[in-house]
Amino acid sequence: MKRSTFTILFIAKKHKLLRNGEAPIYLRITINGSAVELALKRSILPNEWNASKGCSNKKNHEANELNHYLNQARHRLFEIQKDLEFEGIEINVENFKNRFL
């Protein structure tokens, strides 16, 4: 089976602020140059987001919960990748999206 490139990125959309002033967090999955973005239904204040690490840079309870949620999502995506490879199913963004949702 052909090896594919696989990238996970968490993004806070600072240009799409919610009414409470927080930026919604999206997950971007890129496989072989094709990308899909999924809303995670989580948000954060723009100044608390560390874009290079893709997580909150605060050290409070809410930030720890958010970071834990993002780590679980990342782990789940790697599990999906492993399952798709094991089952011999083509690894593409649609398969990932369907399995993740």
pLDDT band at 95 (very low <50, low <70, confident <90, very high): confident
87 falls within a domain: yes
pLDDT in tens, 47-85: 999 999 999 999 999 999 999 999 999 999 999 889 988
77 falls within a domain: yes
Q: Tell me, what's the pLDDT at 23?
A: 94
Domain that holds residue 81: 6-100
1 falls within a domain: no
Q: Tell me, what's the pLDDT at 33?
A: 87
79 falls within a domain: yes
Question: How many domains are contained in the chain?
Answer: 1
49 falls within a domain: yes
19 C-beta neighbours (distance < 10 Å), count: 5
43 C-beta neighbours (distance < 10 Å), count: 20
pLDDT band at 2 (very low <50, low <70, confident <90, very high): low
13 falls within a domain: yes
